[in-house]
């Protein structure tokens, strides 16, 4: 894929992923979701938080790298945007009927971003 196409791909993928996170956090009733009893499953919720923000951070980092930003700055920018987006998503949930904002959920989001940073640095051999 050409560099401009790659850049466009990662930017669009990041935005779509952010919309998906926003949409998912707008759901007030999870009782119809398979494997969720009485509308909540702590383990499943924790896994979803970590994976959602792990993927978001990766897409954002790749967007910056494909845009020509140096690796260290791309990682920093991707991490900061992911952490900020996680905080705004928790704030958004204050206004969704049946949802609550939790610092612990935000910390899981941050954990997903941290995992991405470490794996990205490891796999791309960035010191």
* Burial class of 46 by CB neighbour count within 10 A (0 to 12, 13 to 18, 19+): middle
Per residue of the chain (127 residues), give pLDDT as tens.
677 899 999 999 999 999 999 998 888 766 555 655 555 678 888 999 999 999 999 999 999 999 999 999 999 999 999 999 999 999 999 998 888 889 999 999 999 999 999 999 999 988 7
DSSP 84-98: HHHHHHHHHHTTSTT
With 0-12 / 13-18 / 19 or more C-beta atoms within 10 angstroms meaning exposed / middle / buried, residue 108 is buried
Long-range Cβ contact pairs of 36-41 (< 8 A, separation 24 or more): 39/98
């Amino acid at each position: 894929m050409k560099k401009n196409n790659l850049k466009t791909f990662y930017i669009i993928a990041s935005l779509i992923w952010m919309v998906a996170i926003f949409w998912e956090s707008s759901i007030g009733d999870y009782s119809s979701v398979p494997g969720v009893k009485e509308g909540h499953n702590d383990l499943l919720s924790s896994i979803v938080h970590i994976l959602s923000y792990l993927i978001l951070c990766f897409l954002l980092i790749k967007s910056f790298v494909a845009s020509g930003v140096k690796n260290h700055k791309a990682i920093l920018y991707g991490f900061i945007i992911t952490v900020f987006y996680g905080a705004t998503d928790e704030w958004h949930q204050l206004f969704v009927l049946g949802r609550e904002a939790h610092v612990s959920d935000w910390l899981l989001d941050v954990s997903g971003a941290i995992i991405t940073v470490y794996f990205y640095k490891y796999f791309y051999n960035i010191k």
